[in-house]
Amino acid sequence: MKFLRHAELTDELHSIQERYPNLVKVESLGKSFEGRDIWVATVTDFSTGPASDKPALLLDGNIHAVELTASAAALFHLNFLVESFGRDDRVTECLKHRAFYIVPRVNPDGAELALADEPRFVRSGTRPYFYSDDEFGRLVAGDIDGDGRVLNMRVPDPNGRWKKHPDDPRVMIQREPTETGGEYFRLLPEGRVENGEAGSIPPVRPRQGIDFNRNWPSNWVSEGTQQGAGRFPLSEPETHALATFISDHPNIFTWVAGHTFSGVFLRPGFSVPDTALPFADLTHYQRVGARGTELTGYPAVNAHTGFRINHGEEIHGSVEWGYENFGIYTWIIEFWAPHQRAGIKIENYARWFFEHPAEDDLAMVKWGDEALGDAGFIDWYPIAHPELGEVELGGWDLIRTLYNPPEHLIEETISPFPEWFMWQLEMSPLLSIKETSVERLGPKTWRVHGVVENTGYLPTFCSQKSIANKATRGLMAELQHSEDVRLPSGARVKSLGELTGRAFGPSSALTAFLADHTSDRASAEWLIEAEEGAEVVILFHHARAGRVEVSIKVAEV
């Protein structure tokens, strides 16, 4: 398995569509800054209706340029679905009534740089931002010796803050606060220094400094508080296109965004602790997170309390907007966890990358030597740098070992996740018509009655946040009829509110005195005037619970 460049990804998606035309529809949800299509694959059994009439899960990936594993995971899930349909009863049944929207690569421009023969390392897209002026000197991270890797540079400097570990000189550790008289270094990503003075490393931000995951409306703050935020929310074509797609598809009730490389599931609150979440929503998140941990070994944490470097830091992003604005259940998967494979236990994932004991680095290098061989930690080797003079290259291959697994470990890394995606989609609300009836009230007067129920696990509104934000219209009932049928009174379209599901009740039968009520059902009736034998259609629909209808004849039963 390998990571695909844009042309290869495009060909693969359209090949799948050609082979499975009744299951997959590939469309462009927009163009990137450089004009590449941002593809979305809609996956459902189209013979049972369009995806827009079914509850849906959105899976996206690769919003950050080098986080390629997320793109591979999305494509892997797409292949799992089409290859399982018709062979696996569970997948077949799921796709009859539900749908997936799969966006393998939100950021095609940045990913293309990461996958180039001489790769470049950027955070997100390629549009110049924030200091885009060419006259500023800056470090441009990328492959400088043509070996297809982006490593680290070790630059000798008596004022450097790093020194060699006494037990393994490949590993760099901080010098002590009062330490002097040793051999010290500066550490930098491999790259060129543009427009700088010889031997200097300007502290100027990268020319491509935008962070697509800080460019979303919920709790958006400007560059001074949140690096890479953009000039205003959704200022970038990529984020605007994805946001528009989500807004245009109210049937999305769950959204999973793929990232790398912490080996953790992140969930709301992104700005608040668990105590600030609606209890029912928190209960659902905890249940889904526990299932994810069971399947993958990745822990599930509140992003606000478990994924910050310091208590004052704010990290906002796409899925926060999905939950806060629409009440969509949202998740981030941080695929790939080299530290976990090295046996390192972490409590706060973001904090660990900023500060951890040297023993952790030794453990990771040891694991790399034993498990990855030549793809592991690269021993330092000298190179004449065009701007910095004599330096050494070495360390982790940032793109293909640290941020992502080596190719031979890609499938092993992503293969547990389709089960988790399926399980979440199967929890959706789902409408079913329980009964209908017609009663004669007069020679040409009839009462038409229908009962609908939610056979799914979640309530039709899905989350309490959705209710608070009035994110959907609720359950609607509609009577469709020909011109020969007349409604002397009452509305043809009726609002029925919301239906409960099986979620959020007691987990023990000891509390059975809290009787199960029938708020998972609703009914509607219409008074009509029609000749016997006329046909009418009773239709129930809810943005997140699907659409069901039945045609009935007006006649004595």
Contact call for residues 457 and 423 (beta carbons, < 8 A): no
- Residue 137 has a pLDDT of 66
Query: CA 197, 199, 200 angle in degrees (round to 5)?
Result: 60
What DSSP state is assigned to residue 237?
H
Element (H, E) at 132: none
- Residue 241 has a pLDDT of 98
- Residue 513 has a pLDDT of 59
- Dist. CA 371–CA 342, nearest whole Å: 9
Fold topology of 6-115+209-336+406-426: Aminopeptidase (3.40.630)
Half-sphere exposure of 139 (CA within 13 A, CB side): 18
Q: What is the CATH number of domain 431-553?
A: 2.60.40.10
Taking CA atoms, 523 is separated from 15, 434, 470, in Å, by: 45, 10, 22
Mean pLDDT by 10 residues, the chain (557 residues): 98 99 98 98 99 99 97 99 98 99 98 94 86 67 94 96 97 96 96 76 76 92 84 96 98 98 93 93 97 97 82 77 97 95 87 90 96 94 93 96 96 98 99 97 96 98 96 96 94 97 79 73 97 96 98 85
Buried b (16+ CB within 10 A) or exposed e, 415-442: eebbebbbebbbbbbbbbeeebebeeee
Same fold? 6-115+209-336+406-426, 431-553:
no
- Residue 349 has a pLDDT of 79
**Three-class SS of residue 180?**
coil
Angle between helices 68-84 and 417-426 (to 10 degrees): 60
- Residue 317 has a pLDDT of 84
- Dist. CA 498–CA 389, nearest whole Å: 68
- Dist. CA 459–CA 526, nearest whole Å: 26
**Given the structure tokens 């569970």, which residue do they identify?**
90
Q: Cβ contacts of residue 340 below 8 Å, gap of 6+?
A: 263, 297
- Can you give the residue ranges of every domain in the chain? 6-115+209-336+406-426, 138-207+373-402, 431-553
pTM of the model: 0.94
- Dist. CA 316–CA 64, nearest whole Å: 14
- Residue 555 has a pLDDT of 86
Show contacts of 357-360: CB within 8 Å, 24+ apart: 358/165, 358/171, 358/173
In terms of DSSP bridges, do strands 252-260 and 329-335 run parallel, antiparallel, or are they unpaired? Answer: parallel
In terms of DSSP bridges, do strands 521-529 and 445-454 run parallel, antiparallel, or are they unpaired? Answer: antiparallel
DSSP characters for 297-349?
---EEEHHHHS-SSTT-----HHHHHHHHH--EEEEEEE--HHHHTT---SSH
Residue 276 CA, chain-centre distance (Å), reads 23
- Dist. CA 408–CA 401, nearest whole Å: 11
Contact call for residues 151 and 397 (beta carbons, < 8 A): yes
Angle between helices 318-326 and 237-247 (to 10 degrees): 30
Contact call for residues 337 and 409 (beta carbons, < 8 A): no
- Residue 510 has a pLDDT of 66
